[in-house]
């Protein structure tokens, strides 16, 4: 008989929800974690600390209050890494405690150590107390990812750092090169530029964040440039030269040279599968260490599932949680419903960005007739109250059926506001929902009504079209 009904490898968002779902179904569940702290990258070096760092940056820099009290306003004149990390450590400790408590209350056994398959139903766990073997009917691999290696220079956590090593920096640098214009790169570029750091973003692509609506990307880049960020797009870093005690020089393929105190390498991540001995289980990862799964999150081996960042895009903590839950439910034959097309995306830049549904580019390519309505925060009382006059909310809706097709937001509270639009889209709602209902005043949610009115007014401008 197997030791467990389910063994989950990795205790990040996907692993956590996979294990708790199994326990709620009354199954014998264990979770393997190689680190001393549960929660994986999400809690210890990724989502939770980075978003907490962002909140600390916003508060200590006083950036949102400068419209009222002047551009020189600061909560603290000189912000140090100790100031920033004080808040991070507090939040991390709390989240780790929450995870451990939930595992204990639900009877999930914690197996500490490195997991490796010995055969499709057996793993070997090697930890501080030695090696033990465990069997299970089902497995969920939720091992997450680690930062990809920096081109031309290893991360020394002083001059050249990656997103995991950033939290070990002793000082806020005067200047920074960010290699990689993906979500992680632009989020950190925004945070450090808000602190007054001279930031240069280098990316091989000519357009950043291609999955976002182009209008929103343009607005984000405009505000990042206003904050002092320099972009070098269509450029490749061929070599990184570390200067002894004097920072780094990034040598670009175009023969440009960029000097800064610190270089942050944020160009991709690698799946944590190398040490799992996947071949013994009949599995193989791709070149980036990721596992292929079907819509049920089942791998090529029917009783082994995978979820979270280790399966690739979209690599969002929120989606990883759902993937872990669905993987376990599917393993035990529990019907589940999940709609990837309605996953909300949140980018914690400054200002933050969020969207759900289709972009204008997608609808144009599909030849779907649509119209838009836009509400600017500067026209919303709440925007003036909180000092955000640059935000905007864009509704996209079908010109004929009036069905809401997409919601795109940049500005304070974007990642919270988007869920209103998500609910309306998922229930098949039309723009008339926003027209016919009252929103609290003054709130940012009022943007929905203003955008809907703007959109319907655009339709009325066409002869023969009635709202």
pLDDT at residue number 71: 79
Instruction: Write down how long the chain is.
Output: 467
- Could you say which residues of the chain have pLDDT below 70? 1-2, 150-157, 462-467
Cis peptide before 393 (omega within 30 of 0): no
pLDDT at residue number 155: 63
Cβ neighbours for 144, distance < 8 A, ≥ 6 positions apart: 10, 12, 14, 40, 41, 42, 271, 272, 308, 309, 310
Reported as a single tens digit per residue, the pLDDT across 274-295 is: 999 999 999 999 999 999 999 9
The residues with which 307 forms a beta bridge, in sequence order, are none
Domain boundaries, the chain: 4-145+270-341, 160-267, 351-460
pLDDT at residue number 153: 65
CA distance 67 to 386: 10
Q: What tokens appear for 109 in the block?
A: 């056994």
Reported as a single tens digit per residue, the pLDDT across 89-109 is: 889 899 989 999 999 999 999
Q: Nearest 10 degrees: CA dihedral of 128, 30, 295, 44?
A: -50
Are 422 and 354 within 8 A, CB to CB? no
CA distance 68 to 182: 32
Identical fold between 160-267 and 351-460: no
Chain position carrying tokens 């930031």: 199
User: Percent of the chain beyond pLDDT 70?
Assistant: 96
CA distance 113 to 126: 5
CA distance 435 to 456: 9
Are 49 and 88 within 8 A, CB to CB? yes
CA 460, distance to chain mean position in Å, is 39
Cβ neighbours for 133, distance < 8 A, ≥ 6 positions apart: 118, 122, 123, 124, 125
CATH homologous superfamily of domain 351-460? FAD/NAD-linked reductase, C-terminal dimerisation domain (3.30.390.30)
Q: Please compute, for residue 8, the number of CA atoms within 13 A of its CA located in the half-sphere on the CB side.
A: 36
Q: What tokens appear for 207 in the block?
A: 């357009």
CATH homologous superfamily of domain 4-145+270-341? FAD/NAD(P)-binding domain (3.50.50.60)
Helix (H, G, I), strand (E, B) or coil at 306: strand
How many other C-beta atoms are found inside a 10 Å radius of the C-beta of residue 36? Answer: 9
pLDDT at residue number 404: 98
CA distance 316 to 138: 24
- 171 phi/psi in degrees, rounded to 5: -135, 155
CATH number of the domain at 160-267, out of 1.10.1040.10, 2.60.40.1180, 3.50.50.60, 3.30.70.20? 3.50.50.60
């Amino acid at each position: 008989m197997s030791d467990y009904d389910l063994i989950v490898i990795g205790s990040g968002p996907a692993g956590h929800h996979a294990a708790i779902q199994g326990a709620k179904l009354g199954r014998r569940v264990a979770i393997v974690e190689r680190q001393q702290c549960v929660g994986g990258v999400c809690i210890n070096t990724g989502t939770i600390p980075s978003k907490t760092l962002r909140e600390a940056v916003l508060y200590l820099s006083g950036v949102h209050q400068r419209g009222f009290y002047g551009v020189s306003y600061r909560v603290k004149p000189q912000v140090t890494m100790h100031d920033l990390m004080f808040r991070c450590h507090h939040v991390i400790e709390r989240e780790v405690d929450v995870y451990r408590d939930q595992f204990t209350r639900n009877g999930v056994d914690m197996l500490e150590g490195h997991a490796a398959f010995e055969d499709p139903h057996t793993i070997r766990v090697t930890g501080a107390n030695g090696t033990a073997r465990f069997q299970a009917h089902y497995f969920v691999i939720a091992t997450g990812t680690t930062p990809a290696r920096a081109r031309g220079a290893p991360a020394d956590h002083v001059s050249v750092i990656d997103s995991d090593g950033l939290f070990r920096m002793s000082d806020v640098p005067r200047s920074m090169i960010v290699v990689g214009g993906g979500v992680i790169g632009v989020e950190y570029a925004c945070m450090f530029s808000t602190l007054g750091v001279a930031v240069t973003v280098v990316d091989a692509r000519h357009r950043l964040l291609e999955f976002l609506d182009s209008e929103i990307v343009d607005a984000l880049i405009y505000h990042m440039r206003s904050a002092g960020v320099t972009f070098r797009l269509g450029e490749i870093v061929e070599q990184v030269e570390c200067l002894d005690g004097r920072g780094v020089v990034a040598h670009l393929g175009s023969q440009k040279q960029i000097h800064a105190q610190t270089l942050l390498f944020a160009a991709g991540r690698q799946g944590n599968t190398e040490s799992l001995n996947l071949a013994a289980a009949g599995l193989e990862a791709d070149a980036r260490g990721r596992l292929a799964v079907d819509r049920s999150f089942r791998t090529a081996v029917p009783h082994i599932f995978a979820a979270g960042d280790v399966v690739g895009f979209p690599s969002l903590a929120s989606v990883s949680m759902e993937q872990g839950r669905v993987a376990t439910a599917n393993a035990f034959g529990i019907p589940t419903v999940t709609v990837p097309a309605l996953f909300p995306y949140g980018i914690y830049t400054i200002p933050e960005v969020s969207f759900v549904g289709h972009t204008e580019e997608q609808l144009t390519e599909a030849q779907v007739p649509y119209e838009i309505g836009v509400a600017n925060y500067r026209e919303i009382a709440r925007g003036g109250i909180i000092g955000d006059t640059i935000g905007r909310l864009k509704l996209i809706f079908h010109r004929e059926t009036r069905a809401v097709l997409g919601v795109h937001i940049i500005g304070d509270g974007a990642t919270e506001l988007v869920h209103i639009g998500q609910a309306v889209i998922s229930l098949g709602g039309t723009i008339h929902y926003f027209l016919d209902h009252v929103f609290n005043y003054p709130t940012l949610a009022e943007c929905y009504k203003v955008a809907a009115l703007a959109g319907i007014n655009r339709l009325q401008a066409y002869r023969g079209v009635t709202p």
